[in-house]
Structure 1
Amino acid sequence: MKYTLIELVQRILESMDSDEVDSINDSPESLAVANVVKECYFDIVGKLDLPEKESIFQMTPSGDSNKPTLMYLPENIINLQRMKYNSASVSDPNWYDLNYLPWDDFLDMQNGLLTTETNVGSMTIIEDGHTFTFKYRNDVLPQFYASFNDRTILFDSYDSLVNTTLVASKTMCFGSIEPDFTLSDTFVPELDAQQFQLLLQASKAQAFVELKQVENPKAERKERKNEILAQRTKHAIDRRGGSQTYRRYGRK
């Protein structure tokens, strides 16, 4: 069963024998409990490495035709695990894998390009007040990418006959996204239903310590039990595989 933030706060306040509230903003104590829930939520998400953090997303383009092979990792992305690019249309895509290269290897590869060739271009990037020039090919879709600061992504090439820059809608990335938590009554934390008991018991145990200066052994025992259960059941889809074999169809 899932709970809204006010429902979690009300259950915790009830266990603390505190005054009833209709909103998390009704009293300093209810707001303090809501913040405890928020803190415990991020602890759980980080500790269990929940798949709810993982999703597909698109890169942020440079939006500058003078920097056609430059893109950025969106601000709410914790890490980029893999990336694909679409070599066809948006309505009939053909996704292929892009390969990550360590920065030095990428730089060595790009340094081998000659700007005297018509299929080679260059762009300047300012980083910490310093200007750097990077080369790229302009006649083929990208195959490699690299980063010097974990947020700025450089690609080896783009096809100027297809687009003026690399396009966000043609990227498909997979990685961890920073979860949101809103201090509002109706907010529902992004957890599976079975993980809400862990959030409730962890928040209850911490609220007793922080707000009542006493421990709640019963809540702590339930928290440990639910943490073990959450580890076993954190994937909604069984990832052990099966005996069936599947034929893959698509472009070669």
Structure 2
Amino acid sequence: MGAIKINAVVIESNYYDDFAKIVKVFSKQFGKLSFIAPGLNKSTSKNRYSIQTFSLSDFEIFKARKEEKISKLKTGILKKDYFKIAQNYNNYVYCSIIFKILDQIEQISHKNYKIFKMLIFSLENINNNKNSFINYLFFITYLIQESIQPLRIKSCVRCKKSPFPIVRFEYSEYGFICTNCLLPDEKKQPDSFIKLLANINKKTIYFNVEQKYYYTDLIVLHNIVVNYYENVLGIYMGPIKMLKDTVALNVNEIESNKYK
């Protein structure tokens, strides 16, 4: 079989032996895949720049026909690097979490092209330090919405329709509740929070990262999304604890009560 061309972001590379690396990428054509890159320590190697983490590269690979076999790199050409991400601690953590999720993408979705397009968009913005947290948050949120188990934010999860205004996101059901289905011990949540969730269903990631949202709404959304990955989808999120422990990503008790 001849070599095939792919466009991919390098999410991880590890030494296989003294002269080769195992490279893990997320590609536009096939989603996540791995290949061995031989001869990288040779002074004549032209592939070494293309296989560094945070690189967007064009690769020619001999793709393995069976899942238990590993593909092999023929050539790699660096198209763009996102190395500035590593210069900012928070940005590095955001992208490390994104890459950890993509490393387990088979458990979530196979919509490779759509996810790749969102990934490039988010990496560009984070690399330029443009609304980094928002880009990270919306990427991991929209990734859930491309899964077979999305958040249930299209209509009320109880009456299965929306004849009445949506007034609550119920955590135990991971979905919207309308005013007619609200139980006596449940309360309405801030309108701005409901609008944020509704926009995730109605608008694209490219629209939402440009909007102005209340910071507390975003933090609550982050907590919902992280809990969903860990407890519903069973995804390991790598350095997420580094974010959970920061003051900036915690909501005080008075504010928190508005969302319970």
TM-score band, normalised by the shorter chain?
under 0.3
* Normalised TM-score (structure 2): 0.22
* Normalised TM-score (structure 1): 0.22
Larger RCO: 1 or 2 (CA < 8 Å, sep 6+): 1
Greater percentage in helix = 2
Q: Which has the larger radius of gyration?
A: 1
